[in-house]
A and B are shown apart, each in its own frame.
Chain A
């Protein structure tokens, strides 16, 4: 069963606009991560937020985490055509020490010039 559920499933925006996607999960976590997957490629790690953190920034990325609501959001500011990709949230369970991740189904983002 999937731990993370992303919303929306698909998002279409124009260059320069912001893209926001959300992730909800079910069990207590140690950390939550976001990955990007370009078409036909492997996943690339974007950002990690730990359970005791509420917000984190990396370049044009902003991630928030609300453990009381078991949800996270990823904001990409000033989108570029190169941001076109699928974005996945992944959670590391609190009780799991082996680094296993559970992935959501992803949000497909299309940025048009």
Chain B
């Protein structure tokens, strides 16, 4: 089992460009999450999906959209990237209390 996979691993964007971060899990989990991690701030929840077909805003949703394509996949889209979105993005999934994390995507917006 691969667990939680994320693509790409690294990405550099110019201000105003758009991109989609992909996440997939093979553990048959219902819940999936997107976080961003900034230095000294821990992880902050962007969006989450409690089950296939549902998505909800987290703590810092502005500037992002998500799609829960099916039970396995949960994508995060930046429509018009800004330098403030430079961060490391983590996807996670869970079935109960414990969350399982992907390796992260390091995004730089110039």
Contact = CB atoms under 8 A, between A and B. Distances in A.
Interface of A: 1-2, 4, 9, 31, 33, 35, 40-45, 48, 88, 92, 98-106
B47 to A, nearest CB: 11
Contact of A103 (B42, B56, B98): B42
Given A42-B104, A43-B101, A44-B101, A99 B42 contact: no
Interface of B: 4, 31, 33, 35, 40-45, 48, 50, 56, 58-59, 90, 92, 94, 96-104
9 contacts: A4-B42, A31-B97, A33-B98, A42-B4, A42-B104, A43-B101, A98-B31, A103-B35, A103-B42
A44 B3 CA distance: 12
A45 B104 contact: no
